[in-house]
Amino acid sequence: MQAAFQEYIRQHISLSDQDVQLMLSLATEQKVSKKTFLLREGEVCRHKMFVTGGLLRIYRTREDGSEHIIQFSPEQYWCTEPESLNKQTPSSYYIDAVEDSHLLQWTKKDFDHLNANIPGLKAYSEGIIAHNMDLHRQRIFSAISATPEEKYDEFMRVYPGLLSRIPLHMVASYLGVSVKTLTRIRHAQLQR
């Protein structure tokens, strides 16, 4: 599972083999089965994670117990709860595994060390943050302006191939609509 990470790094940053090895030397591998929690509400997020295989989700609950998914992290995605990790404060979010998954994990301290000592990694990390910011703004725009059908289409564009891997109620939870509405959309799209 380290190979997947090396492959990802090679495609996204040009790091020397030594630097990649340095990153891996500070990483912890973890294999988790479906429904395992990586972070619970109230806990402090200790790790920055990279998903080498499987699928994680970040979600939040309301008082009535309903779950609302903020983000999916399939293989080749980074995953963490930035607010809790950066400030080392209790998280408002949960992270759990939607599928059996393989992860690489770094503590904040170790990753800060890597950012400070590997040329280019800091700039790359900042680029990721900037990109996530752009995605978040698009998502906000979509959430306040798009119809459920447009949101559904956008979900499939943002997460190609994910639809067949997750139950519909998670798609609905991500989009902010009821399962019933999703069913209607899918039925309507079959007509075309």
Partner DNA sequence: GGCCAACGAGGACATTTGTCCTCATTTTAA
Partner DNA sequence: TTAAAATGAGGACAAATGTCCTCGTTGGCC
Separation of alpha carbons 35 and 95, rounded Å = 10
Six token digits for residue 168: 């519909």
Separation of alpha carbons 118 and 113, rounded Å = 8
Q: Which does 88 bind (CB under 5 to 8 A by kind): a copy of itself, DNA, none?
A: none
The set of residues, in sequence order, having a beta carbon less than 8 Å from that of 149 and lying 6+ positions away, is: 185, 188, 189
Which residue number, 100 or 153, has a Cβ lying nearer to a copy of itself? 153
Q: Which residues bind a copy of itself (CB under 8 A)?
A: 60, 62, 66, 68, 70, 82-83, 86, 126, 129-130, 132-134, 136-137, 139-141, 143-145, 174-176
Minimal distance in Å, beta carbon 127 to DNA?
35
Q: Which does 60 bind (CB under 5 to 8 A by kind): DNA, a copy of itself, none?
A: a copy of itself
Separation of alpha carbons 27 and 7, rounded Å = 16
Q: Within positions 150 to 189, which residues make up the interface with DNA, using CB under 7 A?
A: 167-169, 176-184, 186-187
